[in-house]
Chain A
Amino acid sequence: MGGVVAALGACAPAKSTAAAQQPRPAAATTPARDTTRPPPGLGGVSAPNADPFPSTYVVPASRATVIRNVTILTAAGPAIRDGSVLLRDGKIAAVGTSVSPPGDAEVIDGRGKYLTPGIIDDHSHMGVYAAPGGDALSDGNELTNPVTANVWAEHSVWPQDPQFPRALASGVTTAQILPGSGNLIGGRSVVLKMVPSPSVQGMKFPGAKYGLKMACGENPKRVYATRGPSTRMGNVAGYRAAWIQAEAYRRRWDKWNADHQGDPPQRDLGLETLAEVLRGNILVHNHCYRADEMMQMIDIAKEFGYKIRSFHHGVEAYKIADRLAKEGISASLWSDWGGFKMEAMDGVRANLAMVSAAGARAIVHSDDPSGMQRLNQDAAKAMAAGEQIGIHTTEDQAIKWLTINPAWALGLDDKIGSIEVGKNADVVLWSADPFSVYARVDRVWLDGAPAYDRANPASWWRTDFELGNVPLPTGGAR
């Protein structure tokens, strides 16, 4: 887990999945009378702060592509054997046992191979803890105050981090970049596509909602041991104090947005972010290991009227999986990272399978640029551990842990995370069953455009940093 143990917390409302998928019109905050500012965009925020760093990503032009004779794990239903998929204009245009390719389409034979949706990691610190590391690139934890809701991870992201192309080459097409877990409230996350760009804006997923990172337990109380919070009860007092302020701020602004009487209230970047959480426009990602602390965070969310979208790390999620299912909170988990600190002692390898079987959304996350490249293997370990205690997980279920479930956690399950007509054409061609240790990523398409081809090293994305510094790993033993 890198030098710094990452923490996330998300809390997202959503009475139902369907509701969560829709961009919410932030009714009370829509600046209907303020024509001088653009309205909040998708994933935008309150009127005074509507999307000030907008995405500049543009879907690249691409040739229509058909991948056929391939086993498709769709994450939307049963696997399709000997299936075909048509990628056109950045979207999945057709999927089934056969599709009729347009005359100009590139046709790829996937015999013996597997096709999955692009992998989505909802917990990464790429860019904010960039390789090759060191103080100069350590930009993920603003450890100057236990509540730093005012910071945005995107302002730390270095687009030249060599971890980005490695994620892509392992099948990851979308990642949520989070601030670290040193603070009670660490700041805003950003959702990125794994594409080269000189700016983070060029990597930002258009329309993606922001997330808010929160963290429980040992990390904040260790970081702030001398100034406080130094205890878990201090942590909880800290969250509650922040939400009390946020609620007052939200009321002030909602009132002014409604009546525009007098000068607008003074802006506060941190409270603005928290108010957006209370309005349901920012999704809460909550780093929390222990079951008892997760239960307390659920009560805090209820006290202040927000929802937790995902508990991250959650090594004890299996102890309260029934409650997570009931509350509609997802669990972003490792298969077997644990034991490295007191609050991680009770990690079990069947956690994902147990959470999934209880009806909660299970997500394989990484918090680590190396583990991120093997999220499929992490899922396979959890499947096997589940079998050992009598919980059978099919590949059709397990693929969801890597794709549609994290897409939901990011509020993007209407755009990515499954191979269905109309979804973004983010797909991965694997050399073998992705739940085998021997499987390699052969090719990746992102928005329908070729993004990675293992057989063609000249085409590999290499960041500026890598030029001259990092040898191209070709000429390997095969």
Chain B
Amino acid sequence: MKPATGKDPLLTLGTSRELGTVVCRTVTLIAALACLSTTSAQAQTVAITGGKVYPVSGPPIENGTVLVRDGKVVAVGANVAVPNGATRIDATGKWVTPGLINALTGLGVAEINAVPATVDRSARGDSGVAASFPVWEGINPASTLFAPARNEGVTSVGVIPTGGLIAGQAAVIDLVPGTLTDMIDKAPIAMVAQFGDPRDGGSNARGEQYARFKELLDDARAYSRRRAEFERAQTREFAARRADLEALIPVVEGRLPLLINVDQASDIEAVLRLARESNVKVIIAGGAESWKVADKLAAANVPVIVGAMINIPQSFSTLGSRQETPALLQRAGVKTVLIGNGSGEEGFNVRNLKYDAGVAVAYGLKWDDALRAITLTPAEVFGVANRVGSLQPGRDANIVVWSGDPFEFATRVEHVLIRGREVVQPSRQDELMQRYKTYPPVYRKP
């Protein structure tokens, strides 16, 4: 196969803007790191002007302006006055959206999946129960996986523990350079559990698994009523350790949702029964066959976190996998959050969320609903919509400027702002590509 043109394309330069993007990222890396290390200093006004603005919380605005001050959105509209001294970002011909939110990731706690020393996503737990496990405490702000996601428009992620019957507690973070404290939006956002193949969760049959859930929730309730007696060892034996029971109290009190990974339609119905009987709030994740019970999910007001990439009956729990699921859920009135469920979407490819949305559209989801499903809806489901997920006054200024339709492959991310600051930081991959753009590679600068 020949090079595209007669000459060696490796020696040709891209357009000035293309080159500018990457080179600028490289050159400014150190400066950017220095400046981003002081994320608290945010006295800055930014005006993004002239773009097609998708606030998500309201209808799109042609030729709109988004005004940002001190890290917050202060105005969005077609007739917003830009104060003197504001940093202007010309978005003429561009699309402006809230930063994308990938709801189910292991970012920061799973660096290289095959290197256990870099993975802190699954607790050892006690008989499959790790309710007290705060996964966010293991987040490494120096993870190399933040930059690829952020540079492609993902500004917040759910960090979700995995494994066992009750995996632990999840958080939402902003992909803002800084410390863990800087990054966290909210923790916990949910208690994570699995209701899939019972053998994965330490039971041997579905009914046994159901009974274990009931027992755990009942005991958490009993424990919360009888804490003092428990401390004096005057209670019966409970089904979990003290710390885990303690962690389940907000769940049984309805203050913290139970995010349950479940696929098979009959299992989803079991989860709905459990939620009713135990009076807990649930969120369905995975949901391969959720389309079969869409009406029941809508009636119970249970949100579903689901992908649009899988149509293969990969297991006996997912025989009904199909790519129209997000569209069918949305049509039934289910609050639908889109995630990537193509293979290899974890970690490296948290960035591909926008393409999952595009595929969902190709399989029937309305475009506006798809954008909402990767911005405002996950923010609502995780209880952080007061901060992220939409462009309206008072929200954190997590904003992406795109060269066109965000879901299309040819579209480029032109600007990413998190809490009002433009984040400019090349990924490892950017640096590798620069190094090997010519042969022999440049290992040392003269």
Contact = CB atoms under 8 A, between A and B. Distances in A.
Contact of B1 (A336, A338, A400): A400
A51 B390 CA distance: 63
Interface of A: 1-2, 131-134, 162-163, 166, 218, 318-319, 321-322, 334, 336-342, 345-350, 354, 356-362, 368-371, 373-374, 377, 380-381, 383-384, 387-394, 397, 400, 405, 435-440, 466, 469-471, 473, 476-478
Contacts of A438: 358, 361-362, 407-408
Interface stretch (B52-60, B160-168, B244-252, B311-319): B311-319
B312 to A, nearest CB: 5
Given A337-B348, A388-B18, A388-B412, A439 B362 contact: yes
Given A339-B112, A383-B410, A390 B347 contact: no
A242 to B, nearest CB: 26
B113 A340 contact: yes
Given A358-B439, A371-B344, A476-B364, A166 B112 contact: no
A389 B14 contact: yes
Given A359-B3, A384-B410, A473 B311 contact: yes
A337 B432 CA distance: 16
A63 B191 CA distance: 59
Nearest to A368: B343
A440 B308 CA distance: 14
Contacts of A133: 314-315
Nearest to B115: A342
17 contacts: A131-B312, A166-B311, A339-B347, A341-B112, A357-B3, A359-B2, A384-B412, A388-B21, A390-B19, A392-B9, A473-B311, A473-B322, A473-B324, A476-B324, A476-B328, A477-B327, A477-B328
Contacts of A400: 1
Identify the interface centre among A132, A319, A405: most chain B CB within 10 Å of its CB: A132
Interface in B328-346: 328, 330-331, 342-344, 346
A399 to B, nearest CB: 11
Given A369-B312, A473-B311, A473-B324, A319 B348 contact: no
B310 interface: yes
Interface residues on B, range: 35 or more
Contacts of A345: 112, 428
A218 B346 CA distance: 20
B142 interface: no
B14 A349 contact: no
A387 B17 CA distance: 10
Interface residues of chain B: helix, strand, loop or mixed (majority): loop
Interface string B137-164: 0000000010000000000000000000
A341 B114 contact: yes
A32 B256 CA distance: 79
B121 to A, nearest CB: 13
B36 interface: no
Given A166-B311, A336-B349, A476-B322, A392 B14 contact: yes
Contacts of A341: 112-115
Given A373-B311, A389-B14, A390-B19, A350 B361 contact: no
Interface string B72-89: 000000000000000000
A108 B252 CA distance: 61
Contact of A347 (B328, B348, B412): B348
A131 B314 contact: yes
A209 to B, nearest CB: 20
Contacts of B112: 339-342, 345
B367 to A, nearest CB: 9
Contacts of B1: 356, 359-362, 397, 400, 405
B365 A477 contact: yes
Interface in B360-414: 361-365, 407-412
B14 A391 contact: yes
Nearest to A350: B433
B342 A370 contact: yes
Q: Which 9 A-B pairs have the closest CB atoms?
A: A390-B14, A437-B358, A476-B324, A477-B364, A477-B327, A341-B114, A339-B348, A380-B409, A473-B322
Contacts of A338: 348
Nearest to B435: A319
Interface in B291-328: 292, 309-316, 318-320, 322-324, 327-328
Given A340-B344, A374-B342, A478-B364, 14 more contacts: A131-B314, A340-B114, A340-B347, A340-B348, A347-B429, A358-B10, A373-B311, A377-B359, A390-B12, A392-B4, A405-B1, A437-B362, A469-B319, A470-B320
Identify the interface centre among A354, A388, A439, A440: most chain B CB within 10 Å of its CB: A388
Contact of A368 (B328, B331, B344): B344
B316 A321 contact: no
Identify the interface centre among B346, B363, B434: most chain A CB within 10 Å of its CB: B363
Contacts of B21: 388
Contact of A1 (B312, B316, B344): B344
B8 interface: yes
A273 to B, nearest CB: 29
Nearest to B2: A359
Identify the interface centre among B343, B346, B428: most chain A CB within 10 Å of its CB: B343
A151 to B, nearest CB: 25
B313 A131 contact: yes
Contacts of A387: 14, 18, 410, 412
Interface of B: 1-4, 8-10, 12-15, 18-19, 21-22, 112-115, 145, 292, 309-316, 318-320, 322-324, 327-328, 330-331, 342-344, 346-349, 352, 355, 358-359, 361-365, 407-412, 428-429, 432-434, 436-437, 439, 441
Nearest to A389: B433
B349 to A, nearest CB: 6
Contact of A319 (B330, B343, B441): B441
A322 B9 CA distance: 13
Nearest to B364: A477
A436 B409 CA distance: 7
A437 B407 contact: yes
Identify the interface centre among B327, B344, B363: most chain A CB within 10 Å of its CB: B344
Contacts of A389: 14, 18, 22, 433-434, 437
A212 B392 CA distance: 59
Contact of A357 (B10, B359, B412): B10
Contact of B114 (A218, A319, A358, A390): A218
Contacts of A391: 9-10, 14
Given A319-B441, A439-B362, A370 B8 contact: no
A457 to B, nearest CB: 12
B429 A349 contact: yes
A345 B10 CA distance: 23
A417 B297 CA distance: 46
Contacts of A393: 4
Nearest to B330: A477
Nearest to A355: B1
Contacts of B22: 388-389
Given A339-B348, A357-B10, A388-B22, A371 B364 contact: no
A205 B358 CA distance: 34
Nearest to A222: B114
A346 B431 CA distance: 10
B18 A390 contact: yes
A337 B344 contact: yes
Contacts of B312: 131, 162-163, 166, 369-370
Identify the interface centre among B4, B312, B319, B412: most chain A CB within 10 Å of its CB: B312
Contacts of A340: 112-114, 344, 346-348
Contacts of B408: 436-438
A477 B309 CA distance: 15
Contacts of B346: 340
